[in-house]
């Protein structure tokens, strides 16, 4: 993955791009959603707002501002909201789909920059990064959290980004066709890196500006735990050999080390450390179980990918 070349200036705010669809997942964003929709409409043909079980007037305000509103009866999570938006977007046969937040964190005026690599045919997924250029005042706690999750996601997914948690993204028709998210929470951005690798999608980044107008709806710890939990689930789903094999290998190594100590103690003192020996047996059995589980799931995943590829031909 590399940073894309981007225009120094965007198109005029009155420009409307035919075939460009914006998807805005929103939950209780009545305060900002109207302005976001109005500004976004200046740069796209269609704005889809997915009201994810809001308890305020998010849907009504978005509809009044000119958005096509899709409603969830209950809050299902960002991943589900994006799936809903993508399903509708496919019906419109767009040239490019863009996603942005409904809380004014993302500037609609930068849409032209974000979609540019796709319109030029240089990318399938474009990620707007707040860290390519230092133009946003990101709180230090967020910077640390973003760095941690980005580093972890990059290492495991095999797709390198500077901002894995950015929701300001653009997608080509090829990406729109294959991207279906299993994540329900904010880990959906991390899942995109796994899916991009699996489907051989081209990913580039462009710099964007982020604004933090309000305090987070959830504590940073709660948000971080949600993302981490989702990321671990993604590793189990997309990298089962790593998820199960690594702990299995560690258990085997520890078991072998302790086992050698038990044998050495028996040879020296002619006495068996029963407690330690039982621990060794448990560690070795657990290690073998985890390793074989990882190998079997890895083989099944390869088989399922081959079957899916054959069905799509």
Neighbours of 65 (CB within 10 A): 19
In 3-state terms, what secondary structure has residue 169?
Answer: strand
Check residue 106 and report its DSSP letter.
B
105 & 151 share domain: yes
162 and 211 in a single domain? The answer is: yes
Candidate ranges 2-6, 19-23, 130-134, 308-312; pick with highest mean pLDDT: 19-23
User: Which of the pair, 302 or 119, is modelled with greater confidence?
Assistant: 119
**Residue 4 confidence (pLDDT) above 50:** yes
Do 297 and 259 sit in the same domain of this protein?
yes
302 and 200 belong to one structural domain: no
236 pLDDT band, cuts 50/70/90, is confident
Domain identity same for 224 and 301: no
CATH of residue 31's domain is 3.90.550.10
Mean pLDDT to the nearest integer, 46-58: 96
The whole-angstrom separation of Cα 298 and Cα 257 is: 28
Question: pLDDT tens across 114-148, in order?
Answer: 999 999 999 999 999 999 876 667 777 778 888 88
Percent of the chain residues past pLDDT 70, beyond the cut: 89
Beta sheet of 96-99, edge-to-edge order? 2-3, 203-207, 125-129, 169-171, 96-99, 20-26, 46-52, 68-72
- Same domain membership, residue 171 and residue 76: yes
| Max Cα–Cα distance, the chain, nearest Å | 88
80 and 178 co-located in one domain: yes
- The residue from 223, 238, 253 where one domain ends is 238
CA–CA distance, 187 with 292 (Å, rounded to integer): 28
Q: What's the pTM? A: 0.77
Domain that holds residue 230: 2-238
CA-nearest of 254, 308, 252 to 284 is 252
pLDDT value of residue 1: 55
Q: Are residues 132 and 273 in the same domain?
A: no
Q: Are residues 165 and 288 in the same domain?
A: no
Based on the structure, what is the number of domains in the chain? 2
Q: Which pLDDT score, from 0 to 100, does residue 118 have?
A: 96
Q: How confident is the model at residue 9, as a pLDDT?
A: 36
Higher pLDDT, 306 or 205: 205
Co-location of 132 and 265 in the same domain: no
pLDDT over threshold 90, residue 204: yes
Distance CA 22, CA 122 (A): 20
In degrees, rounded to 5, the angle at the alpha carbon of residue 28 between the alpha carbons of residues 24 and 29 is 55
Q: Give, in order, the Cα–Cα distances in Å from 226 to each of 5, 40, 171, 233.
A: 33, 29, 25, 11
Instruction: Tell me the mean pLDDT in the region 69-94.
Output: 95
What phi and psi, each to the nearest 5 degrees, are found at residue 84?
-60, -45
164 and 251 in a single domain? The answer is no
306 CB burial (10 A radius; 0-12, 13-18, 19+): exposed
One domain, residues 91 and 221:
yes
> Which one of 204, 238, 272 terminates a domain?
238
Asked whether residue 100 carries a pLDDT value surpassing 80, the answer given is yes
* pLDDT reading at 15 higher than 50: no
Look at residues 105, 112, 102 and name the one whose alpha carbon lies nearest to residue 24: 102
Of the three residues 185, 213, 238, the one that is the final residue of a domain is 238
């Amino acid at each position: 993955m590399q940073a894309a070349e981007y225009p120094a200036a965007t198109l005029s705010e009155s420009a409307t791009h035919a075939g460009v669809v914006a998807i805005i997942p929103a939950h209780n964003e009545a305060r900002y959603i109207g302005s976001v929709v109005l500004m976004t409409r200046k740069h796209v043909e269609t704005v889809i707002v997915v009201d994810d079980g809001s308890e305020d007037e998010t849907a009504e305000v978005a509809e009044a501002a000119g958005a096509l509103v899709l409603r969830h009866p209950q809050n299902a999570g960002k991943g589900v909201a994006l799936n809903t938006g993508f399903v509708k977007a496919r019906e419109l046969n767009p040239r490019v789909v863009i996603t942005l937040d409904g809380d004014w964190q993302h500037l609609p005026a930068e849409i032209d920059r974000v979609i540019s690599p796709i319109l030029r045919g240089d990318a399938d997924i474009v990620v707007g990064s707040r860290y390519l250029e230092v133009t946003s005042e990101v709180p230090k706690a967020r910077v640390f959290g973003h760095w941690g999750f980005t580093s972890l996601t990059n290492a495991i997914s095999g797709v390198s980004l500077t901002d894995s948690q950015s929701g300001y993204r653009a997608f080509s028709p090829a990406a729109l066709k294959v991207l279906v998210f299993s994540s329900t929470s904010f880990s959906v951005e991390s899942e995109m890196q796994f899916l991009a690798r699996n489907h051989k999608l081209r990913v580039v980044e462009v710099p964007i500006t982020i604004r933090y107008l309000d305090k987070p709806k959830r504590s940073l710890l709660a948000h971080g735990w949600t993302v981490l939990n989702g990321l671990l689930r993604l590793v189990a789903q997309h990298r089962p050999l790593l998820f199960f094999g690594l702990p299995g290998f560690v258990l085997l190594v520890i078991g072998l080390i302790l086992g050698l100590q038990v044998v050495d103690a028996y040879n020296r003192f002619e006495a068996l450390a029963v407690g330690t020996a039982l621990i060794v047996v448990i560690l070795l059995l657990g290690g073998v179980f985890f390793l074989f589980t990882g190998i079997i799931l890895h083989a099944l995943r390869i088989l399922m990918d081959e079957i899916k590829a054959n069905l799509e031909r």
